């Protein structure tokens, strides 16, 4: 892949997933500097005529901060309580920031059942398309306040990939606390090298995805590889990039080689 700008020039609908580590400080409280940078970029991209869906983590993390917890809850009731508090904080924050740029948002909370049941799948699909056609930016999260293991997607990397498939998006951008996929774990191996382009998800690529993510989040690199498999199978592309970098989304869409690009299967 020598020319990302040419590769991404026809993108008209994107999903952006932002992780807890980007949205919050290590204390669990919201990082408004990063959030404002994110919203400004998405609003500007939307002004260019590109439809945008935001898949956000952070409900449990935001709830933790509000409730005074410093360690991520372990039991399901504790997680659900934190999520119930935090989800309201998140959507209020997104609505406030987006409205400053003249954008309308909608909250959509999903579970695995919404993708597995045909009627619910079609209803969700139609809701998304109607919102997008009206210039709305959907803000999506898993419904952590009520889910149990049986209806849990489990992580928002996978959820964002499923949403990409659901709405027929061209590109999924996953923003993380790491700048992309390495050939080894950069947190433990100082000689690890960045992989900028992946044309095929091989067993070697999967083996590179070791590591467990951060204390506040749930997704490591392995979940991102799983997400990439879902995305490329639906003939879309995916990019993993560091969410705290200024203007990272704008730069990606301008064709700058940032992060790891997983190329769609069909390049025609």
pLDDT in tens, 104-141: 999 999 988 899 999 999 999 999 999 999 999 999 99
pLDDT tens digit string along 207-249?
Answer: 776 653 443 344 478 889 999 999 999 999 999 999 989 899 9
Q: Which two tokens stand for residue 187?
A: 């947190």
pLDDT at 18 over 80: yes
Q: pTM to 2 decimals? A: 0.89
Q: How far apart are CA 222 and CA 181, in angstroms?
A: 10
Whether 268 is in a domain gets the answer no
The pLDDT, as a whole number, for residue 83 is 85
Q: Is 267 contained in some domain?
A: no
- For residues 14-20, give the mean pLDDT: 92
Q: Judge whether 69 lies within some domain.
A: yes
In a domain? residue 87: yes
Q: Which residues contact 113 (CB under 8 A, 6 or more apart)?
A: 120, 151
25 vs 157, which has greater pLDDT? 157
What average pLDDT does the chain have? Answer: 86
What are the φ/ψ torsions at residue 13 (nearest 5 degrees)? -145, 120
How many domains are there within the chain? 1
Higher pLDDT, 153 or 54: 54
In a domain, 60, yes or no: yes
Q: Which domain does 164 fall in, by range?
A: 4-262
Residue 205: inside a domain, yes or no? yes
**Percentage with pLDDT > 90 across the chain:** 51
Are the CB atoms for 38 and 94 separated by under 8 Å?
no
User: Is 202 part of a structural domain of the chain?
Assistant: yes
- Domain-embedded: residue 58: yes
User: Tell me, what CATH number does 28's domain have?
Assistant: 3.40.1160.10
Q: What is the per-residue pLDDT across 165-189, written as a single tens digit (0 to 9) for each?
A: 999 999 999 998 888 998 877 777 8
């Amino acid at each position: 892949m020598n020319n990302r700008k040419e590769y991404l020039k026809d993108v008209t609908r994107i999903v952006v997933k932002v992780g807890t580590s980007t949205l919050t400080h290590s204390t669990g409280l919201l990082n408004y500097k990063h959030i404002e940078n994110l919203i400004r970029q998405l609003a500007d991209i939307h002004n260019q005529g590109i439809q945008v869906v935001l898949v956000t983590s952070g409900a449990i993390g935001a709830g933790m901060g509000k409730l005074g917890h410093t360690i991520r809850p372990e039991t399901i009731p504790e997680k659900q309580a934190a999520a119930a508090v935090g989800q309201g904080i998140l959507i209020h924050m997104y609505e406030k920031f987006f409205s400053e740029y003249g954008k309308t948002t909608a909250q959509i909370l999903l579970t695995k059942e919404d993708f597995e049941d045909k009627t619910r799948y079609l209803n969700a699909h139609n809701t998304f398309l109607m919102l997008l056609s009206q210039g709305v930016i959907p803000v999506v999260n898993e419904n952590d306040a009520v889910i149990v293991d049986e209806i849990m997607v489990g992580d928002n990397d996978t959820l964002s990939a499923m949403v990409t498939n659901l709405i027929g998006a061209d590109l999924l951008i996953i923003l993380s606390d790491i700048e992309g996929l390495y050939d080894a774990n950069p947190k433990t191996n100082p000689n690890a090298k960045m992989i900028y382009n992946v044309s095929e998800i091989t067993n070697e690529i999967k083996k590179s995805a070791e590591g467990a993510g951060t204390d506040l989040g749930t997704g490591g690199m392995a979940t991102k590889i799983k997400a990439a498999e879902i995305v490329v199978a639906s003939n879309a592309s995916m990019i993993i990039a560091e969410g705290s970098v200024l203007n990272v989304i704008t730069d990606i869409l301008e064709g700058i080689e940032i992060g790891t690009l997983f190329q769609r299967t069909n390049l025609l």
